[in-house]
Chain A
Amino acid sequence: SQTIHQWPATLVQPVGSPLSLECTVEGTSNPNLYWYRQAAGRGLQLLFYSVGIGQISSEVPQNLSASRPQDRQFILSSKKLLLSDSGFYLCAWSYREWVTDTQYFGPGTRLTVL
């Protein structure tokens, strides 16, 4: 069976500090991978998605970046955090089942920027 891991689970960082969040998927190969952010009481905001190693599509962020160094590893980074970067960061993966993709979420990282 497939599992998705994220770490750390919680993180408190000062404004201006760097960020690195990691996500790994087990039990599958060549998954599509996604980073979402969910601000308190808000919906899911897609940040990045990747259909393969080194292939990253960016949706919104200015000071965030993503990398996919290995097939089942997805990393979210920032050089300098902003207060507005606080939120619940979710990694997700999807796979093809019959004629559709199905998406599953990791446990998430709760980031507080002070």
Chain B
Amino acid sequence: QKEVEQNSGPLSVPEGAIASLNCTYSDRGSQSFFWYRQYSGKSPELIMSIYSNGDKEDGRFTAQLNKASQYVSLLIRDSQPSDSATYLCAVNVSPGNQFYFGTGTSLTVIP
């Protein structure tokens, strides 16, 4: 069974701090990794994708992938109250196949 694990939180950080969200996955053959943000009552929104080991930066967001350790993380720099949401980690083992989601980490940024 392919599993994606995330700490459910809640994770609270003060405004302006770095929020660090972590995710581990069980299938070593996984190829693509995604972070979605889901505001309460809304659908998930893709914010980052990463395919290769290392870091990928997009604005205040940095995704980090370590395939040897089977984890992927998301760093949010200069956290804002508008970043308060649930963050879902997703894994795609191979193109054409299913996406596997973690249960999400709830983040609250305190003004």
- Which A residues lie at the B interface, using CB under 8 A? 32, 34, 42-44, 46, 49, 51, 88, 90, 94, 96, 99-108, 110
Return the contact of A51 from the options B46, B49, B90, B96 (Cβ within 8 A): B96
CA distance A20 to B46 in the complex (A): 27
Given A34-B99, A100-B31, A107-B42, 13 more A-B residue pairs with CB atoms under 8 Å apart are A46-B98, A90-B44, A99-B51, A99-B95, A100-B95, A101-B32, A102-B32, A102-B46, A103-B34, A103-B99, A106-B43, A107-B43, A110-B41
With A42-B103, A44-B101 already in contact, the answer to whether A102 and B49 are too (CB < 8 A) is yes
State whether A105 touches B45 (Cβ < 8 A).
yes
Residue in B closest to A97 when the chains form the complex, CB atoms: B49
B74 surroundings in chain A (CB, below 8 A) = none
State whether B103 touches A100 (Cβ < 8 A).
no
What are 20 of the A-B contact pairs (CB < 8 Å)?
A: A43-B88, A43-B102, A43-B103, A43-B104, A44-B44, A44-B101, A49-B98, A51-B96, A90-B43, A90-B44, A100-B92, A101-B96, A101-B97, A103-B46, A103-B92, A105-B36, A106-B43, A107-B43, A108-B42, A110-B41
Question: How many of chain B's residues have a CB under 8 angstroms from any CB in A?
Answer: 24
State whether A32 touches B44 (Cβ < 8 A).
no
Measured between C-beta atoms, what is the minimum distance from A47 to chain B in Å? 12
Within 28-76 of B, Cβ neighbours of A (below 8 Å) are at 31-32, 34, 36, 41-46, 49, 51
